[in-house]
Amino acid sequence: MRKSLLILVLTFFFTAPAFSGTPYTEFKVGYLNPSDAKAGYIFGLNMGRMIDESVSWSFELNYFQKTFNKTTTVASEQDLQGNIIKTKQTEIDLTTRIIPLFLKLNFESPLGRRSPLYARGSAGIGWEFLWSKENNYLEKTFQTRYFNGFGWQVSGGLGFQISSSANLFADLFYNGSKVKRGEKKNELGYPTWQELNISGLGVRVGISIVGFGW
């Protein structure tokens, strides 16, 4: 799968210059709810070129981060003014970061002859990287685990033209991916690995700037 994806990516980028359409760039921010991780904010940068008036290709970089802290109150005291001062301690500190990379095919169509509204949709494939930093102060264990795996994404939404070169949009999207690490064989000779399912629904809004990009 990895070799096939690499060949696909290289082929795409060697043939992409043939698409000499208008460049554009999208800046996105949203919220993603992965299956095996806590929900968090996701930021995206999508850069591509138009193939015709409705279809375009693009390369998209996303960044997701969620931080979880478990804290407890270990002491409290009252000062001379009656204020309650609490002493707290962090017991568990966990940060999950995900970077999905996609090659995408996008479609846009106006909702009416002169309407500033248009429907939009996209589909893409790529590779997703996840690293989880875990600090467990109770058990005195500290580790960073790295995962990666094939990913895909589909989205649909609405856009609104605010100028000749800028559009606002809102999308509902689904991110599909299971990332793995530590592939090895156990004492019985069976292949084993660790896996996280980071598939899930998300929403995002953004702005598209036509004429800006590579």
pLDDT value at 14 more than 60: no
Q: Mapping DSSP to helix (H, G, I), strand (E, B) and coil, where does residue 9 land?
A: helix
- State the Cα–Cα distance between residues 197 and 67, nearest whole angstrom: 18
> What pLDDT shows up at residue 44?
96
Which residues on neighbouring strands pair with residue 103, listed in sequence order?
A: 59, 125
Higher pLDDT, 72 or 128: 128
Distances (CA, A) of 2 to 5, 34, 103: 5, 23, 15
- State the Cα–Cα distance between residues 160 and 115, nearest whole angstrom: 9
Token digits for 98? 């995900």
pLDDT value at 154 more than 90: yes
Radius of gyration of the chain, Cα coordinates, nearest whole angstrom: 22
Architecture of domain 24-69+84-210 in this structure: Beta Barrel (2.40)
Phi, psi (degrees; rounded to nearest 5) at 22 = -65, 130
Highest mean pLDDT among 15-19, 27-31, 140-144, 209-213: 27-31
Distances (CA, A) of 24 to 19, 128, 191: 13, 24, 45
Lowest mean pLDDT among 136-145, 162-171, 191-200: 136-145
The residues near 206 (Cβ < 8 Å, ≥ 6 apart) are 26, 27, 28, 29, 30, 44, 168, 169, 171
Which residues on neighbouring strands pair with residue 110, listed in sequence order?
A: 118
Average pLDDT over residues 173-187: 91
> What pLDDT shows up at residue 26?
97
Yes or no: say if 175 and 34 are a contact pair by the CB < 8 Å rule. Answer: yes
The pLDDT-based confidence of 90 (bands split at 50, 70, 90) is: confident
Average pLDDT over residues 104-132: 93
- State the Cα–Cα distance between residues 56 and 207, nearest whole angstrom: 16
Token digits for 8? 């696909």
Checking DSSP bridges between strand 141-161 and strand 166-185, what pairing results, if any?
antiparallel
